[in-house]
Structure 1
Amino acid sequence: MESKKRRGILERLDAGEVVVGDGGYVMQLERRGYVKAGHWTPEAAVEHPEAVRQLHREFLRAGANVIQTFTFYCSEDKLEISGNVKGITGAQINEAACDMAREVANEGAALVSGGVSQTPCYVKSHSEPEVKAIFKKQMDNFMKKDIDFFIAEYFEHVEEAVWAVEVLKTSCKPVGATLCISPHGDMDGVPPGECAVRLVKAGADIVGINCHLDPLTCVRTVKLMKAGLNKAGLKAHLMIQPLGFHTPECNLGGYLSLPEFPFALETRAMTRWDMQKYAREAYNAGIRYIGGCCGFEAYHIRAIAEELAAERGFLPPASEKHGLWGAALEMHTKPWVRARARREYWENLLPASGRPKCPSMATPADE
């Protein structure tokens, strides 16, 4: 087991293994009262480490191979905009987040990834030196803690993501890069295939999509990235960490344009069976790093692990009392519930919302 812990992300992916990522943090912690909605900055890593640690542990138990540091939006300019009245520094958050992620990862065979994300500075100034200095400062914090690899995530502009990759590659650590874009491309209209080419040429070892849109839409976008890489004769591992919500109406600007964002998204939550379908679609598309972002709870990660149990060769601890495809329901006292202990029932179910006159679609805000 010890030797497996030390195998790096690229060793695992090069061997064709499925790597299951963890789930969403900021939205989960906001719902639990630890994070402020809107700015979503990660002071909870310092203020409420027990809450972050518990969420890490739930994802690990559900089958995650990677524990990502809770450092989303952890740049000084973003912390300042969020009203960081307590004066908690980015360095404090980064270091505390690394310590917690490593502590929990060491409880299993998981790796620790250091996450950096888009900066307000980019949109404001488009200054490459200024933006790169922010990424370098965060990278230096992570390197003190010897994380296993980096993920540059949640970038709407491929140019900024390329700058992040260029900085992170100076660490000599593997780098993954995921954009929060649709099949239409980034916010500047750069198509997904070209985005992937730019990221790989910048040095990214793993490329893909995270957040903003539902899983199957994100799979479509990663397929376009893969096609772009193939056309350019480039190779990289593919990664996906989408939303855990249904978002069919917002294929440009993403779920931020939905009227339910951020306080009524529960009505759009995906079931574990939706997640099993997503995991299979992603795997069939050649994606081997499969996880989740906002809206992904531990049971969603467990669903991915269960769907790909044959490929991974094991089930996670969280599946011990669960039973595949509802098998545990066979012990229920009611016969009509026992009849649901089978795959066919759940695969063919069309869940109702339970809300009279609930619209099947919403009208997103202007994107």
Structure 2
Amino acid sequence: MTKRSLKQRLEEGPVIAGEGYLFELERRGYLQAGSFVPEVALKNPEALKQTYRDYMLAGSDVVLAFTYNAHREKMRIIGKEELLEPLNRNAIRLAKEVAREHPEEEALVAGNISNTNIFDPENEDSKVQVREMFREMVGWCKEEGVDFVNGETFYYHEEALIALEEIRRVELPAVITLGLMGENILRDGYTVEDSCASLEENGALVVGMNCFRGPDTMQPYVEKIRRKVNGYVGALPIPYRTTEDNPTFFNLPDGGCSCTLPTETTFPTSLDPLYHNRYELAAWAEKAKNDGVNYIGLCCGSSPAMLRSVAEAAGVETVHSIYSPDMHKHFLFGEEESLNESNLAYRTKA
């Protein structure tokens, strides 16, 4: 069938967006925690393609080019600025290759720009530098033929606005999502709902939130955004059990840990015991859809199996729904008469 645009898909129902490559590729052994730079696009392209593929077949309508942290400032820090352009271009090209593999309808390909960690609202030079970084990355997105650009994880409204301006300058659709820190307000004083209203007025197709917060501490703010804006709203939480006392994954404690951690908190490499299970994430996705969220996904920490549960809860049958859990033939939980009854007795005792 003809490949529909992002806007067309949003008009017809929820769009599922799989993110979380950063943590997933670190788990798979292809990315260094700490620097968190996606050199995998050049060093292990087949590993990146397989990750793209796994999320797409689990339900993602979007193959997001893995260029998070692949901006000039981060590449400067690791001393590899010469890799900046080839890394960006190859991440997009690999995404396009995988998108064409979708057996039902070619997936959308999104370029990606994100928080720079150098933005300073009081420093005009930093604003110029940020704009230049976004401009070159968005330029490569345009030249490589992405369907839209995803600008994400902004904790300053003005930085998000600069990103949006650069995306709109090359006449590409924009998805802009904010990362809300523990202060519960963006660092330049905007509420997320006011920021999203402004971003929508300035031409963003989708506005919303991603990363930092799990479903429980993100959704109340997403609901405020939904009430404030008229267009499409996105929500992509992390799959960790954040709480009112610890609203982001930056400061989640693990009282059961029996060893000394390398960092002061569980972030970023000791979060494993703090996951939501897939059924909790599915319950959130169903609620989010019913609350009017249009662009639904998961961010750092997610797995394809988690995303599949989210997609199915939002009413989407995925390519890999054939592998969704079915306990009918399980030796402990099955219901077929041929199963060994002595095993079934251990359902709650094993």
* TM-score over 0.5 (shorter chain): yes
Deviations 1:322-350 (A, max 9, x none): 3xxx4x2111233xx237xxxxxxxxxxx
2:330 aligns with one of 326, 329, 332:
332
Residues of 2 paired with 1:159 and 1:280: CA distance?
32
- Amino acid of the structure 1 residue aligned with 2:240: F
* TM-score of the superposed pair, with normalisation by structure 2: 0.86
Determine if contact 2:216/2:243 at 8 Å carries over to the other structure.
no
The offset of 1:249, in angstroms, is 4.9
Matches within 5 A, 1:160-239: 160-181=159-180, 184-229=184-229, 235-239=230-234
Where does structure 1 lack aligned partners over 5 or more consecutive residues? Answer: 230-234, 340-367
Pick from 14, 20, 24 the counterpart of residue 20 of structure 2: 24
Q: What's the counterpart of residue 93 of structure 1?
A: 87
The letter for the 1-side match of 2:171 is C
Letter in 2 for 1:276: A
CA distance in 2, matches of 1:320, 1:99: 29
Q: Does the CA contact (< 8 Å) of 1:205 and 1:236 recur in 2? A: yes
What is the TM-score when the length of structure 1 is the normalising length?
A: 0.82
* TM superposition outliers: structure 1 runs of 4+ over 6 Å: none
User: Secondary structure of 1:255's partner?
Assistant: coil
* DSSP-derived class of the 1:261 partner: coil
State the Cα distance separating 1:47 from its structure 2 match: 1.1
1:257, distance to aligned residue in structure 2 (A): 2.6
1:121 aligns with 2:121: no
Q: Please list every run of 5 or more consecutive structure 2 residues that lacks an aligned counterpart in the other structure.
A: 253-264, 336-350
Judge which range, 18-27 or 213-222, deviates more. Answer: 213-222
Contact conserved, 2:17 with 2:297, CA < 8 A, in 1? Answer: yes
Using the aligned pairs only, state the percent identity.
30
Q: Which amino acid aligns with 1:95?
A: R
Could you tell me which residue of structure 1 aligns to residue 341 of structure 2?
Answer: none
CA distance in 1, matches of 2:197, 2:331: 56
User: Partners in 2 of 1:271 and 1:69 — Cα distance?
Assistant: 27
Distance 1:250 1:55 in 2: 34
Give the aligned length.
Answer: 317
Q: CA deviation at 1:216?
A: 3.1
Question: Which position in structure 1 is the counterpart of 2:8?
Answer: 11
What is the letter of the counterpart of residue 68 of structure 1?
A: L
Displacement of 1:94 after TM fit? Answer: 0.9
1:281 Cα shift?
A: 1.2
Contact 2:109 2:147 in 1 (8 A): yes
Amino acid at match of 1:267: P
Equivalent position of 1:103 in the other structure: 97
Could you say what the CA RMSD is over the residues aligned between the two structures, in angstroms?
1.8
Letter in 2 for 1:167: E
Distance 1:308 1:193, change over 3 A: closer
1:260 paired with 2:266, answer yes
- Aligned pair 1:296/2:302, yes or no? yes
Contact 2:216 2:242 survives alignment (8 Å) = no
Structure 2 Cα separation of the partners of residues 169 and 70 of structure 1: 21
> Which amino acid counterpart does residue 320 of structure 1 have in structure 2?
I
- One-letter amino acid matched to 2:66: F
